[in-house]
Amino acid sequence: MLKGTFLGAPCLFSLLALMGGMLGLLAGCAPAPPRPPVVTLPPPPPPSLTSREAALEKAMAEFYRAPYRQGGVTPGGVDCSGLVLAVFQRVGLALPRTVEEQYKVGQPVARNHLRFGDVVFFNRYCQAKKSGPYVASLWPPGYLSQVCHNGIYLGNGRFLHASPRGVEVASLDAEVWRLSFAGARRYLASEPTGGT
């Protein structure tokens, strides 16, 4: 009798395993619970511009792709400081004419605090870099540190400036601009978003 019970135990375990497997199959065949609906969030709204920044953006659009002209201050032809002067005039700000004079006015801004409408300045290294390292090595260090170029910051590391190719957008991360960056100035006073 003991022998029969012993032999019956593996059969019992096999039967239990078979039943457990069948329950697992049945559970696997049951319909999956409904998935919660996928919620897609709308993209974040674009940063709002103040009324003065919006006017500045509109003024910059007038000059985009304007040809380069030394001493120019119109969409028919403009140089770098002429672009800054003319764009800010259109929003009611009178700035000096030259890059050096524009660099002396306004509120200094650190590169990591730039915002739309700030003016970025570059030293003569940007000109020397274009001429080649040999020519740059011939220029006195004091000369290379003088500011000689500027543009208007757009955001995301980009700025609008008048280059020999005309008014275009460039990246502050490009080597020539990164190495020649001399500072920035803020001419637009802070105003509440959507202010008047």
Locate 43 and state its tokens. Answer: 């993209």
| Strand, helix or coil for residue 84 | helix
149 catalytic residue (yes or no): yes
* Annotated catalytic residue within 29, 113, 148, 149: 149
* Annotated catalytic residue within 29, 113, 126, 161: 161
Distances (CA, A) of 22 to 13, 55, 117, 162: 14, 73, 71, 77
Edge-to-edge strand ranges of the sheet holding 147-155: 107-108, 181-186, 119-123, 147-155, 158-163, 166-171
Locate 127 and state its tokens. Answer: 């000109």
126 catalytic residue (yes or no): no
* Annotated catalytic residue within 29, 80, 113, 126: 80
113 catalytic residue (yes or no): no
Catalytic positions: 80, 149, 161
